[in-house]
Structure 1
Amino acid sequence: MSIRLKLLLSYIAMIFVPVALFVLAMMGLLIMLYSEKIGVDPPFKIESVERMKAYHARMEEQERHFSGLSYMFDYDPVLLEDRDYLRKIGDKLHAVNAVIIIEKEGQFTYVSPLVNSAVQSELLGKLGTEPKDEWSNPEFTLNDRDYSVSRESVTFQDGSAGEVYYVADITEFNGLIHFFFPIAALSLIGAVVLTNGVLTYFVSRSIIRPIKALKLAAEHIKEGDLDHPLQMKKRRDELGKLGGAFEEMRLRLKESIRVQLQVEEDRKALISSISHDLKTPITAIAGCADIMRDGIADTPEKQLKYINMIHRKAADMDRMIEELFLFSKLDLKKIPFHFLPVDLTAFLVDCTEELRLQNEAGTGDLEIAFEHPRGGPVFVMADREKLSRAIMNIVENSLKHMEKPARKLAFKLETGRTANSGGIVTVSIADNGPGIEREALPHIFERFYRADEARTSERGGSGLGLAIVKQIIEEHGGRVWADSVLGAGTVISFSLQIQNYDLPGGAQ
């Protein structure tokens, strides 16, 4: 629920809830007043309510007597002058604090008993002086008593006109009204204050608590603590969205700092690795130069030997610098890739044939095999030069570590289908080298990583060959991985997505 809607509902509740509470309180009061009539036994009794009930019963009795008298006087005017009947009626009315006064042709002919004669005389004086047309159930006070008066025009038996006044003592009623009105007003005010207080507490609490949480999280970030999470996922209002954006900012900032630290570590590792890898050939070149300068190489054969060594070490340095330059440009996305449809089958045939020719021109101890179980062309979108560089780096890495007399390289091309990407082709290059330990296998595609803990470069290489392979294959939208068994060899594989190629049997 949004804060806007929450505030709107709270404003509506601040109006209707107090009214509802007040109505319920008044309904409860009415139920207590009329409990006997509706057959409800209230759980507790209030003295003022009991007095109100007694007075209400007396008012009903007054009304019953007045209604009966009005009917009797209209039906039998003789009763207006029947003293015995009027005396009996007066006694009954006296019991309920009421009187009747009969006026005939401007003269009061009968007055039922009142509490005292002083009140009677004042009341008669009041009735005698008030204009007839202004009397409509008026209320007035005499001797600290409150009275209500109603009148009815009657006709006597002899045809003369007169008035019958019904007077009721309402002092107790007014006292109860003066008691209940402040209670009702205080109840309404209390309901308003209670409702506003409760709603204000909960609404402000639902706003202030997340603001405090945001403030605490901001203070943690200010102090450099990016590991303190902001837990506001359950909120769906504007503050929840703000908290979500704040938490995302914290995570991104934390990741940014992590990346910066990683870049700094990589920079340090780069400097260390370059220094280490360049030191060995430079030391060798300097040693050969010293030998030749000191005249130790005193024959043409020795001089040629050291010259060849200098040339070889310089070539190693040139290759390392070239790979470092290539890796840096790949890492910074500075090398453009030109993707064209490439028949991977023919491409691998050319690669293996080139390796065979190089092997025949060299030691001739490498056995090369190529396997494509399904046969036929397999087209992928690739940069031929970059893909060739990736395959050659894998081959060089394998040849560098194979020490067996009979070295073997097996190329294998397999096609298949995945649920998400459709047809894929997998190229595997297996060797019969010493294999890689399980702990080192996940790290071989990292920059400057060597499984050899001594980190020597006796076998050559910059430690960037497989890292370059990973970058090139990922730029092609594929992935690369390795499997190895100690003593049995290593298989390095990569997969690419097939383009517009139907596999035999209908698969892609």
Structure 2
Amino acid sequence: MSIQLRFVLTYISIVFVFIILLFLSGFLIFFSITGDADFVRKLYSHSYEYKLLTPEEENAFLDLKLLSEKKPEQLLWPETVKKYEFENIDIVIQKNTEVVYASESIKGENLRKYLPKHQKSKGNHSYQQDMLRIGKQYFTYINLDFPFSNQEKGSIYVLRKISPYVGIINRIFPFLIFLLLILVIVIIGFLNYLVSRSIIKPIRELKEAAEKIKQGDLHFEISANSKDEIGELTQA
């Protein structure tokens, strides 16, 4: 293989590896944000539109928010809250520090230990979005804190179950990006070392042979270990 072809293949390999790592980092970015490992297929079919909330989450949250503003005491009725549940969407209602309603899939957990504390706000209502872990399951959630009619603290949580890997990736994402950059540098450096070594080592042998010839020593032999241009020069 000629040196020119070797360099061409080396740089093609570098570009190929960089593209793979770029797509991998892009996948990690979208996966850590959306929690949807199937977003590539959806994006390809032109039916995927990223939102902070899914339509089910948004509908449940807006309906419960309206209820907290108009008739907050109805949030203490399980039959009322249950009708706002959707598939893969869980709801938790909390009054002060007591959980008064929880969806069946998370009902047995000690929710008070995992749920964030009531947020103080200048207004009557405040909300936040984040991720939390309940037992061995991970959820994205949107939370609304509000006052009941008697000014007791109330909280609404609309949760969506996500892959446990999302929580892990979300926490170590900066490290992953840094690791990918280091990996690109190491791979490029390693490929460059392999190519350079295959060129520099034979050149050094030729230099040593030229020094011996210069000193009048012709009783030696060097062998050509490659069939490229340097190998042809060594043989000559």
Shift of 1:104: 4.3
Letter in 2 for 1:86: V
Shift of 1:130: 3.9
Match of 1:152 among 116, 133, 144: 144
- Distance change in 2, residues 1:145/1:39 (3 Å): closer
Whether contact under 8 Å (2:90, 2:158) holds in the other structure is: yes
- Distance change in 2, residues 1:167/1:26 (3 Å): same
Provide the C-alpha distance between the structure 2 equivalents of 1:24 and 1:113, rounded to a whole number of angstroms: 39
Letter in 2 for 1:26: S
Shift of 1:224: 5.4
Shift of 1:152: 0.9
Letter in 1 for 2:145: S
SS in 1 for 2:209: helix
% identity of equivalent residues: 12
- Distance change in 2, residues 1:64/1:126 (3 Å): same
Whether contact under 8 Å (1:19, 1:188) holds in the other structure is: no
- Distance change in 2, residues 1:132/1:197 (3 Å): same
Q: Which residue pairs with 2:233 in the alignment?
A: none
SS in 2 for 1:165: strand
Q: Which residue pairs with 2:60 in the alignment?
A: 69
Letter in 1 for 2:202: R
Shift of 1:195: 1.3
Q: Which residue pairs with 2:81 in the alignment?
A: 86
Provide the C-alpha distance between the structure 1 equivalents of 2:211 and 2:188, rounded to a whole number of angstroms: 34
Whether contact under 8 Å (1:140, 1:148) holds in the other structure is: yes
5+ residue gaps in structure 2? 1-14, 32-36, 121-126, 219-228, 230-236
Is 2:40 the counterpart of 1:35?
yes
Match of 1:216 among 209, 220, 227: 209
Instruction: For 1:450-489, list aligned pairs within 5 A.
Output: none
Whether contact under 8 Å (2:128, 2:144) holds in the other structure is: no
Shift of 1:67: 2.0
Shift of 1:38: 3.0
Whether contact under 8 Å (1:18, 1:188) holds in the other structure is: no
Q: Which residue pairs with 1:25 in the alignment?
A: 24
Superposition RMSD in Å: 5.0
Match of 2:111 among 109, 123, 135: 123
Q: Which residue pairs with 2:169 in the alignment?
A: 177
Shift of 1:199: 1.0
Instruction: For 1:297-446, list aligned pairs within 5 A.
Output: none
Provide the C-alpha distance between the structure 2 equivalents of 1:186 and 1:64, rounded to a whole number of angstroms: 35
- Distance change in 2, residues 1:172/1:110 (3 Å): same
5+ residue gaps in structure 1? 1-15, 41-55, 226-233, 235-508
Greater relative contact order (Cα 8 A, min sep 6): structure 1 or 2? 2
Letter in 1 for 2:90: V
Provide the C-alpha distance between the structure 2 equivalents of 1:153 and 1:138, rounded to a whole number of angstroms: 14
Match of 1:197 among 173, 184, 190: 190
- Distance change in 2, residues 1:99/1:124 (3 Å): farther
Which structure has the greater CA radius of gyration? 1
- Distance change in 2, residues 1:74/1:146 (3 Å): closer
SS in 1 for 2:105: coil
* Number of positions where the alignment pairs a residue of Structure 1 with one of Structure 2: 188
Whether contact under 8 Å (1:102, 1:108) holds in the other structure is: yes
Provide the C-alpha distance between the structure 1 equivalents of 2:107 and 2:93, rounded to a whole number of angstroms: 18
